[in-house]
Amino acid sequence: MTNVNTEIEKNYRAFQKKLPAVIETHRGKFALMNNAEIIDFFDTARDAYIAGQRLFTSEQVFSVQEVIDNPVDLGYFSHALPQ
């Protein structure tokens, strides 16, 4: 079973590292994250969340992070979406 908090933190740290490479081409979009990788970008957080629900089983965790200049970790309920 996945440790939810560990996975969420791993996704957020990976997003921060990848941000400089994606900010110009995906600014304002929402990145769907899983296993420290950006899976895809979406126009809305809702679209990213729905895609995450479809792509990942109930044992996995995914995160949604807005592509902005200074990403903010707003805590567990605001950017992490465990199934």
What are the sequence ranges of the domains in the chain? 4-82
Residue 56 near residue 34, CB atoms below 8 Å = yes
Residue 15's pLDDT is 93
CB 39 within 8 A of CB 64: no
Which candidate, 55, 63, 54, places its Cα nearest to that of 82?
63
22-45: per-residue pLDDT in tens? Answer: 999 999 999 999 999 999 999 999
Q: Residue 26: in which H helix or E strand, if any?
A: helix 4-26
Q: Please, what's the b/e burial string for 64-76 (b: 16 or more CB within 10 A of its CB; e: otherwise)?
A: bbbbeeebeeeee
User: Can you name the residues that pair with 66 across neighbouring β-strands?
Assistant: 30
- pTM (two decimals): 0.81
